[in-house]
Homo-oligomer: A and B are copies of this chain.
Amino acid sequence: MDLIILGQWHNLSHHFVRARNKSDILFHRTGINVAKSASKDSPRSIAREVARLILTGVWREGTTLPREIELASRFDVSRASLREALSLLKAKGLIASKQKAGTHVRARFDWNMLDEELLNWTLSALPTQEFAKQILEVRRIVEPEACAICAVRGTDEDFARIERAYRGMDAAGMDRVAYAEPDLQFHRGILIATGNDFLIAFGATVAAALRMSFDLSSTNPGAPRKSLPYHRAVLDEIWARNADGARQAMHKLMDLTEQNIVSAMSRQKKKDAEDENVRTRRTR
């Protein structure tokens, strides 16, 4: 049955089949690709891999996953390390364990999608079309309001920090990579200025969203820079302590972001289709 140890999965492929009983799931070769490796920092990378299997629906909600000893041997680590990986996933609400009953995938509603790591895992594991829409929808709800609060409640030091971030973006010029960090600091600075711990925690979601935007911008390196004047507008309204203006300015920035993402994704799609074409022609 070509059983493959997960630890040796590098550049191999996988699938899963129902076997003798519910929790007896085996891996064997098929045509589906698998993430590169699980080599270093075992517990975290194992958590990531298990999360991937859950997020992509290989292990659906309610599924009982293989027992710890078996998983440990598949990932080629000790049971202790595996348990640490599982406990990370427990903390993020993906799984739950009961003595003797085993470990099962929790209902989707219980997954803490606002967790930064889980967010990053998700956006590297799933096709980002639907995902991008959703994340932008939430940003559109939260960030303009946070911006309004920031304008009213923020201190001058808060504003100065955001200003510094803006200067960093400006200084980055057309350099996508250098632009990314201060961009995040800009948005995070606004959230921090609200003084609301929950809005601050939302920074993790924004970070993941910006990372996604960054990845997408590879097909259009000039796009990020275009957002600069929109950021300036937001900042000006904040300095003016104009809540409504800040809200609207941030809303416009969100509009621009949406445009960039939509166009980038259609480009991406087109590119993928072309690549696929080339590949099939080649294999013929």
CA distance A93 to B88 in the complex (A): 11
CA distance A83 to B84 in the complex (A): 8
Residue in contact with A112 in the complex, picked from B87, B149, B201, CB distance below 8 Å? B201
CA distance A197 to B108 in the complex (A): 9
Asked whether, in the complex, the Cβ of A111 is within 8 Å of the Cβ of B201, the reply is yes
Asked whether, in the complex, the Cβ of A197 is within 8 Å of the Cβ of B87, the reply is no
CA distance A142 to B149 in the complex (A): 14
CA distance A83 to B83 in the complex (A): 10
Asked whether, in the complex, the Cβ of B198 is within 8 Å of the Cβ of A135, the reply is yes
Check if A114 is an interface residue, CB within 8 A of chain B.
yes
Asked whether, in the complex, the Cβ of B199 is within 8 Å of the Cβ of A138, the reply is yes
Asked whether, in the complex, the Cβ of A138 is within 8 Å of the Cβ of B198, the reply is yes
CA distance A188 to B192 in the complex (A): 27
1/0 contact trace for A198-210 toward B, CB 8 Å?
1111111100000
Copies in the complex: 2
Asked whether, in the complex, the Cβ of B87 is within 8 Å of the Cβ of A192, the reply is no
The closest CB in chain B to the CB of A144 belongs to B141
Asked whether, in the complex, the Cβ of B109 is within 8 Å of the Cβ of A200, the reply is yes
Chain A, 106-127, CB within 8 A of any chain B CB: 108-109, 111-117
Residue in contact with A87 in the complex, picked from B88, B109, B137, B145, CB distance below 8 Å? B88
Which B residues lie within 8 Å of A192 (CB)?
109
1/0 contact trace for A69-101 toward B, CB 8 Å?
000000000001001100111111100000000
The closest CB in chain B to the CB of A195 belongs to B134
How many whole Å from A137's CB to the nearest CB in chain B? 6
A113-B80 in contact given A88-B91, A90-B88, A142-B141 (Cβ < 8 Å): no
Check if A154 is an interface residue, CB within 8 A of chain B.
no
Asked whether, in the complex, the Cβ of A197 is within 8 Å of the Cβ of B113, the reply is yes
CA distance A146 to B140 in the complex (A): 11
Which B residues lie within 8 Å of A199 (CB)?
137-138
A residues sitting closer than 8 Å to B (CB atoms) are 43, 80, 83-84, 87-93, 108-109, 111-117, 134-135, 137-138, 141-142, 145-146, 149, 188, 192, 196-205
Q: Other than the known A87-B88, A91-B117, A112-B112, what 5 A-B pairs have Cβ atoms closer than 8 Å? A: A84-B87, A93-B116, A108-B197, A138-B196, A138-B199
22 A-B residue contacts at CB 8 Å? A80-B80, A84-B84, A87-B87, A89-B91, A91-B91, A91-B92, A92-B115, A93-B116, A108-B200, A109-B192, A111-B197, A111-B201, A112-B114, A112-B204, A113-B198, A134-B198, A137-B196, A137-B199, A138-B198, A141-B141, A141-B145, A142-B142
